[in-house]
Structure 1
Amino acid sequence: MFEGFEEDTFDLGDSRVFARWGGSGPPVVLLHGHPRTSSTWHRVAPLVVDAGFTVVCPDLRGYGRSSGPATTADHAPYSKRAMAGDILGLMDRLGHERFHLVGHDRGSYVALRLALDSPSRVERLVLMDCIPISEHLENLTPEFATEWFHWFFFAQSHVPERVITADPEAWYGADPNSMGAENHAEWLNAVRNPATVHAMLEDYRAGLTVDRADELRDRSSGRRVEPPLLVLQASEENLHADVAKVWGRWATDVRHAVIESGHHSAEEAPEPLSRAIVEFLRA
């Protein structure tokens, strides 16, 4: 995977962030979702490099080979603001003042927070398979709660760790053929680590508490996403919302497109996904 890419782990103070980077041209950061690592982009990253970009793929704080501080009662060390700070620190270390930003799943919430807090750093923003956490919670339906039950299960104390670490491979389930053998091996090594599982759950606990509160403050103050925004939605992903309408309330320049794929489109549909990203970044 990632032939021609460099990789290293960066000490950023209260976190250590593993990242891969390669290519030349305008920088693009690709942020993975749960429970993946940066290797989920192994089919997309080379295509974006070939299109003339520098691509940076970090493991989010607590995921994969990245680590963070001890958890606290308010879950703030695993807030999206803390994770966004990691990305800013990483890009500073790599020498990039401004960059394009792509986030999928939980990575999309990190990307959203970074774009809201530091709009001068982001050229263009791509968010995949998400609407703001606060929007989901304010429009909660039995259907959403049933299909997305893991949000609320992960928020419980201790029990999710006990359930998942008993057999993480069975809990998450993943096909090495669709993921790619090396990507699957990296993912499996991550989810077999109890510390990684705990950190990933803290991401969700922060989502329902501190991250939700941050979003509500954004909305009450009228803060909106300033960089041009492309929202991509996998055809098989049901967000139980009018995605384009929701993002129209959060961004001034927003576009919406569908990728024919399941949830993990970077692995399942890398060519159409890469085309959509590159076409938007070049616009």
Structure 2
Amino acid sequence: MDSHRFWNMTETTSAVSSIAQSSRGQLLRPRHSRHPPTRHSWSRARVQCASSIRCTMNNSVALETGSSIGTVTPVRPPQSGRSSLRPIPAVIRHGPASPGRSLRGWGDSGKPPSTADHEPYSMRSIARDQVEVMRSLGHERFRLVGHDRGARCAYRLALDEPDVVTRLAVMDVVPIGDVYDRADRTFSLSYWVWSFLAAPAPVPERFIAAAPTVLVDFMLDTWPEVKDAFPPEVRAAYVKQFSDPATVHAICEEFRAAATLDYQQDEADRGNRRITCPVLFLWSRHGQVAKLYDDPLAIWREWADDVRGEPVPVGHFIPEEAPDETSRQLLAFLS
């Protein structure tokens, strides 16, 4: 399961005003505080309102984060759009303007009807949303940062649109093609959520509807190394997301697409297309990526020409568990 987040950093400084002029509805922005940011301030970031920009099949929520990077809807359970708005403090002070948004199916973003082949929830389709939103805001080229599901969306976008992405940062994932090709008994037991959510409808949807708190607590209790990374009000927001049938169905469709279309597209690109922009890869030293792969950085070097990265001494939720280190790494890479 891939978590959650997907940041966009534009090449110019006009994104905020563009959001205000071109989007429908209200503008979403974090409230500024006099107090220095803490790890929990990421999880408790408060927002005022949301703005919807219509894409071909979806309404993507645009978020203004002052002059920085904004998180997108976490794309792997258990995150939700607004509750996962976690601007990186250091990047906010130094970075250019940037919109963030909830990915298709998450938070307040649209949840279009799916199809028998799950194409509307493939990473290619979700990545296409991001390009449409950025172009509607006047940005033809931009930098991307993604964690978990957001990272999968980001690398697919970099493969499909090499002239659009100028820098790519991905956290705690390897490409979907490699996930399935290298899967073994350890993977089947530690990543059981992938198989569970990809099961035929409506099986996982019904199970989650019966006990959404059980699934959320499992993820937030066992995946982080920092055990207080998610305060009670954030957990409650995640449970609310997993109590919404449309959101849960969209999440399941995304995992069904991962096992079919996303895998097939990765395999078609393997050895034929490469990510041409610089890539930063951060992974959790105590998470499943480090346990499953002896050298995860080498896996990314099979997909890109310019790759650098290192493990971060936390669990899966790198931005929430290590905000200072995440900020330092992203500033050095994106500046």
Shift of 1:178: 2.6
> C-alpha separation between the residues in 2 aligned to 1:54 and 1:183?
26
- CA 80–29 in structure 1, closer or farther in 2 if over 3 Å, else same: farther
Query: Are 1:264 and 2:292 matched, yes or no?
Result: no
- Report the counterpart of residue 227 of structure 1 in structure 2: 277
Alpha carbons of 1:216 and 1:139: their partners in 2 closer, same or farther (altered >3 Å)? same
Amino acid at match of 1:269: A
Matches within 5 A, 1:33-48: 33-35=75-77, 36-39=79-82, 42-48=85-91
Deviation at 1:265, TM superposition (A): 1.7
Letter in 1 for 2:266: E
3-state secondary structure, aligned to 2:166 = strand
What residue identity is the alignment partner of 2:305? T
Question: Identity of counterpart residues, as a percentage?
Answer: 36
Do the aligned partners of 1:16 and 1:66 also contact (CA within 8 Å) in 2?
yes
- Hey, what does 1:170 align to over in structure 2? 214
Deviates more, 1:164-173 or 1:110-119: 164-173
Asked whether the 8 Å contact 2:229–2:320 carries over to 1, the reply is yes
Return closer, same or farther for 1:8/1:45 CA change in 2, 3 Å cut-off: farther
1:1-283 alignment runs, 5 A limit: 2-3=30-31, 7-24=50-67, 28=69, 30-31=71-72, 32-35=74-77, 36-39=79-82, 42-157=85-200, 158-173=202-217, 174=220, 178-180=229-231, 183-220=234-271, 222-239=272-289, 240-241=292-293, 242-282=295-335
Whether the 8 Å contact between 2:216 and 2:238 is mirrored in structure 1 is: no
Q: Secondary structure at the match of 1:232?
A: strand
- CA positional deviation for 1:177: 5.5
Question: Which shifted more, 2-11 or 126-135?
Answer: 2-11
Q: Which amino acid aligns with 1:140?
A: A
User: Which amino acid counterpart does residue 3 of structure 1 have in structure 2?
Assistant: R
Deviations 1:221-253 (A, max 9, x none): x20011100000012212212211111110000
Name stretches of at least 5 consecutive residues in structure 1 with no aligned partner: none
Name the amino acid aligned to 1:160: P
The 8 Å contact of residues 59 and 109 in structure 2, kept in 1 or not, is answered as yes
> Are the aligned partners of 1:119 and 1:226 in contact in 2 as well (CA < 8 Å)?
yes
Asked if 1 retains the 8 angstrom alpha-carbon contact of 2:170 and 2:281, the reply is: yes
Distance 1:219 1:103 in 2: 21
CA distance in 2, matches of 1:246, 1:50: 33
What is the TM-score when the length of structure 2 is the normalising length?
0.78
Q: Is the 8 A contact 1:232 1:256 kept in 2?
A: yes
- Name which of structure 1's ranges 265-274 and 34-43 shifts more when overlaid on structure 2: 34-43
Query: Do the aligned residues in 1 keep the contact of 2:111 with 2:246 (CA within 8 Å)?
Result: no
- Which sections of structure 2, spanning at least 5 residues, go unmatched? 1-28, 33-46, 222-226
Q: 2:118–2:256: 8 Å Cα contact kept in structure 1?
A: yes
8 Å CA contact retained: 2:65, 2:98: yes
Following superposition, the deviation at residue 191 of structure 1 comes to: 1.5
The letter for the 1-side match of 2:150 is G
Counterpart-to-counterpart distance in 2, 1:236 and 1:194: 32
1:164 is aligned with what amino acid? I
> Structure 1 residues 110 and 75, CA, compared in 2 at 3 Å: closer, same or farther?
same
Higher helix share: 1
- Check the 8 A contact 1:29/1:101 in 2, yes or no: no
SS at match of 2:314: coil
> Any idea what the Cα deviations from partners look like across 1:198-235, whole Å, max 9, x if unmatched?
10111110001001011011114x20011100000012
1:255: Cα distance to partner? 0.5
Residue aligning to 2:41: none
Q: Structure 1 residue runs of 4+, over 6 Å off?
A: none
Given the superposition, is the C-alpha separation of residues 114 and 199 from structure 1 closer, same or farther in structure 2, using an over 3 Å criterion? same
- Report how many aligned residue pairs link the two structures: 279
By how many angstroms is 1:189 displaced? 2.5
Most deviating of 101-110 and 34-43: 34-43
Return the letter of the residue paired with 1:223.
Answer: R
Q: 1:18 to 1:183 in 2, by over 3 A?
A: farther
Contact 2:282 2:310 in 1 (8 A): yes
Q: CA deviation at 1:172?
A: 1.6
- 1:180 deviation in Å? 4.4
The alignment partner of 1:58 has SS state of strand
How far apart, in 1, do the equivalents of 2:328 and 2:65 lie? 18
Listed one character per residue, the Cα deviations across residues 34-81 of structure 1 (whole Å, up to 9, x for unaligned) are 121344654443432212222322111001111232111100000001
